[in-house]
C-alpha cells in the first residue's frame, strides 16, 4: 500500500503508547478483539502478500506483521522468536489497560493519508494506472466511480518530530468534478 501525506493540523490532545507480548496467534487475536471491539480495519503482511481488510481476521489467518485500527486505538504487531510483540497507540489512556504503558505522553497532530487509485465500477476495486494490479482496499458504503480513499490518522510526536502515525479511519474521498 502506498500512501502520501496530504494534510496536517496540530491539536492540544495527548497520545499514549503501551506494549505487551502475545505468546501465539490465539492470544494476539484475543487482544485485538478486546482492544478493538467496534468497527476495525486490518492491514497485515507476510513475506508473500499484504492484505487490507475490514474487520479482524481469525487467529489462524493473522500474518506475521500488521496493524488493526479504529477511531479510538491502533494495535500493531510483529512476530519474533518469543511471540508477537505488540504496540498499542491511543488518545484514551483507559483503552491501554492490561498493557505496559510507556512513561511518555505524546503530542499528536491530525493528518490524512491519501491512498493510491480510483474506484473502478467495472472491476469493483480501486485501480491506479501506475501500479500493474488491482488495489484491494476495503470498500466504504456509497463508493462511486472515480472516488479515492484516505486514512484519517494522528501523528505521534516527540520534540516536534513524528515518531509514529496512528491510523484511525478509512474514508471515501469523492471525485472532484
Same domain, 111 and 94: no
Same domain, 24 and 77: yes
Same domain, 27 and 100: yes
Same domain, 114 and 164: yes
| Residue that terminates a domain, selected from 68, 87, 105 | 105
Same domain, 31 and 58: yes
- How many domains, in total, are found in the chain? 2
Same domain, 71 and 111: no
59: left (phi over 0), alpha (psi -120 to 50) or beta: alpha
pLDDT in tens, the chain (177 residues): 444 454 455 556 899 999 999 999 999 999 998 888 777 899 898 888 888 988 888 888 889 999 999 999 999 999 999 999 999 999 999 999 889 999 888 999 999 999 999 999 898 899 998 888 888 888 888 889 999 999 999 999 999 999 999 999 999 988 775
Contact 66, 88 (CB under 8 A): no
d(CA 91, CA 133): 36
| Residue that terminates a domain, selected from 70, 85, 105 | 105
Same domain, 35 and 80: yes
Helices (H), 25-147: 25-35
d(CA 122, CA 124): 6
User: Looking at residue 112, what is its pLDDT?
Assistant: 95
Same domain, 99 and 27: yes
All 3 cell numbers of residue 113?
493519508
Question: Which domain does 122 fall in, by range?
Answer: 3-10+107-173
Same domain, 64 and 112: no
| Residue that terminates a domain, selected from 78, 105, 132 | 105
* Dihedral of the alpha carbons of 172, 39, 45, 31, in degrees to the nearest 10: 160
Q: pTM score, two decimals?
A: 0.87
**Pairing label, strands 73-80, 65-69:** antiparallel
Same domain, 90 and 169: no
* CB-count burial class (<10 Å; 0-12, 13-18, 19+) for 86: buried
Helices (H), the chain: 25-35
d(CA 158, CA 162): 7
Count other Cβ atoms within 10 Å, centred on residue 135. 20
Same domain, 85 and 43: yes
3-state secondary structure of 167: strand
Same domain, 27 and 86: yes
Amino acid at each position: 500500500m502506498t500512501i502520501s501525506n496530504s494534510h496536517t493540523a496540530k491539536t492540544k490532545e495527548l497520545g499514549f503508547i503501551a506494549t505487551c507480548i502475545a505468546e501465539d496467534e490465539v492470544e494476539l487475536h484475543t487482544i485485538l478483539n478486546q482492544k478493538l471491539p467496534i468497527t476495525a480495519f486490518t492491514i497485515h503482511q507476510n513475506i508473500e502478500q499484504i492484505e487490507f481488510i475490514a474487520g479482524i481476521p481469525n487467529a489462524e489467518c493473522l500474518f506475521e506483521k500488521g496493524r488493526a485500527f479504529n477511531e479510538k486505538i491502533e494495535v500493531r504487531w510483529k512476530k519474533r522468536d518469543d511471540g508477537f510483540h505488540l504496540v498499542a497507540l491511543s488518545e484514551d489512556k483507559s483503552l491501554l489497560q492490561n498493557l505496559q504503558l510507556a512513561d511518555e505522553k505524546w503530542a499528536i497532530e491530525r493528518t490524512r493519508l491519501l491512498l493510491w487509485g480510483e474506484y473502478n465500477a467495472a472491476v469493483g476495486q480501486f485501480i491506479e494506472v501506475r501500479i500493474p494490479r488491482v488495489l484491494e482496499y476495503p470498500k466504504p458504503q456509497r463508493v462511486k466511480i472515480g472516488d479515492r480513499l484516505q486514512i484519517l490518522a494522528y501523528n505521534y510526536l516527540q520534540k516536534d518530530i513524528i515518531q509514529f502515525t496512528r491510523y484511525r479511519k478509512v474514508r471515501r474521498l469523492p471525485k472532484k468534478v
